[in-house]
């Protein structure tokens, strides 16, 4: 059977950019299916996708009742992908920060045996464009701190542009995840690394969004700081027995 790919696009208030990113994904990976996971955006993002899906059987939208964080949205998308028998699962932002044209190469890397492929800003060849100095500093500091606390070798552990083999996700979801927000990305990559699976970082250019606003806020940074600190301390106290999951 041919291998099947699901591109999961989490959205909250992305009505200005959703049409464009869906068209770009479709043109970059025509054989892939697309699932938008929307947290009941007041700006009608889900309604736009639902209208497009009426004439595109390979596009679907999952509407969640409330805004409950990027991590929770991705979990819903992952479960959908596993239930529907996909072989590869893609994560990509809806705002155009990630160029879907990188996906064929990232999928090739996954097909060649990497369990997780990260579109990385912080490896040679990777860069950011139009990102404020503050956001660059937060990203670099977050990655540096995570590498130090968790002993991770991943250069862009917070990145939101990824290809997972479905088996990787199946393994990760055997235990409940604790992260609500963008910390989910750190948790998934670190657990993949700890499981001894293969991670490749593919250099990308991350473009600051042209429309809409970032959903990043202080609470998201605080959650990541807190959880990475706890995981890092637990790792030092009982190596090999990290209580990665602190809640359901």
Ligand X SMILES: Nc1nc2c(ncn2[C@@H]2O[C@H](COP(=O)(O)OP(=O)(O)O[C@H]3O[C@H](CO)[C@@H](O)[C@H](O)[C@@H]3O)[C@@H](O)[C@H]2O)c(=O)[nH]1
Binding of ligand X by 231 (CB under 6 A): no
Distance in Å, CB of 131 to ligand X, minimum: 9
Contacts of 24 (CB under 8 A, 6+ apart): 96, 99, 100, 101
Q: What DSSP line would sit under 129-197, residue for residue?
A: ES--HHHHHHHHHHHHHHHHHHT---S-TT---EEEEHHHHHHHTTS-----STHHHHHHHHHHHHTT-
| Residue 67 touching ligand X (CB under 6 A) | yes
User: Would you put residue 141 in left (φ > 0), alpha (ψ -120 to 50) or beta?
Assistant: alpha
Nearer to ligand X, 63 or 111 (CB): 63
Q: Do the beta carbons of residue 120 and residue 156 sit within 8 Å?
A: yes
Check: CB of residue 245 under 8 Å from CB of residue 176: yes
Q: How far is CA 161 from CA 26, 233, 239, in A?
A: 16, 28, 29
Closer Cβ to ligand X, 20 or 214, answer by number: 214
- Residue 69 interacts with ligand X (CB under 6 A)? yes
70 is a contact residue toward ligand X (CB under 6 A): yes
Chosen residue from 25, 37, 81, 172 binding ligand X by CB under 6 A = 37
Report the nearest approach of ligand X to the CB of residue 42 (Å): 13
94 makes contact with ligand X (CB under 6 A): yes
Residue matched to tokens 């500093």: 137
Phi, psi of 161 (to 5 degrees): -120, 110
Give the one residue of 7, 8, 39, 228 binding ligand X; rule: CB under 6 A.
39
Instruction: Give the x/- contact pattern for ligand X in 135-164, rule: CB under 6 A.
Output: ----x------------------xxx----
Under rule CB under 6 A, residue 12 binds ligand X: yes
Number of residues that bind ligand X (CB under 6 A): 25
Question: Which residue in 24, 114, 155, 215 binds ligand X (CB under 6 A)?
Answer: 215
Q: Applying CB under 6 A, which of residues 214, 221, 225, 230 lies at the interface with ligand X?
A: 214
185 binds ligand X (CB under 6 A): yes
In angstroms, rounded to a whole number, what is the distance separating the alpha carbons of residues 107 and 103?
6
Reference 216, options 155, 156, 138; nearest CA is: 138
Q: Which residues bind ligand X (CB under 6 A)?
A: 10-12, 14, 37-39, 67, 69-70, 73, 93-95, 97, 139, 158-160, 182, 185, 209, 214-216
């Amino acid at each position: 059977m041919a291998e099947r790919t699901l591109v999961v696009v989490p959205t909250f208030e992305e009505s200005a950019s959703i049409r464009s990113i869906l068209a770009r994904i479709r043109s970059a990976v025509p054989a892939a299916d697309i699932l938008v996971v929307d947290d009941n955006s007041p700006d009608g993002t889900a309604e736009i996708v639902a209208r497009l899906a009426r004439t595109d059987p390979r596009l679907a939208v999952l509407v969640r009742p409330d805004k409950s964080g990027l991590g929770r949205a991705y979990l819903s998308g992952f479960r959908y992908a596993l239930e529907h028998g996909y072989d590869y699962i893609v994560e990509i932002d809806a705002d155009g920060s990630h160029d879907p044209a990188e996906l064929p190469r990232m999928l090739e890397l996954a097909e060649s045996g990497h369990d997780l492929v990260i579109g990385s800003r912080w490896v040679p060849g990777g860069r950011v464009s139009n990102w404020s100095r503050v956001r660059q500093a937060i990203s670099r500091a977050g990655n540096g701190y995570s590498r130090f606390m968790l002993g991770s070798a991943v250069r862009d552990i917070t990145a939101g542009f990824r290809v997972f083999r479905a088996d990787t996700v199946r393994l990760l979801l055997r235990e409940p995840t604790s992260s609500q927000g963008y910390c989910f990305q750190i948790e998934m990559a670190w657990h993949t690394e700890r499981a001894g699976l293969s991670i490749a970082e593919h250099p990308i250019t991350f473009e600051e969004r042209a429309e809409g606003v970032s959903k990043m806020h202080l609470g998201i940074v605080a959650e990541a700081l807190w959880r990475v600190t706890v995981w890092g301390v637990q790792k030092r106290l009982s190596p090999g027995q990290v209580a990665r999951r602190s809640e359901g």
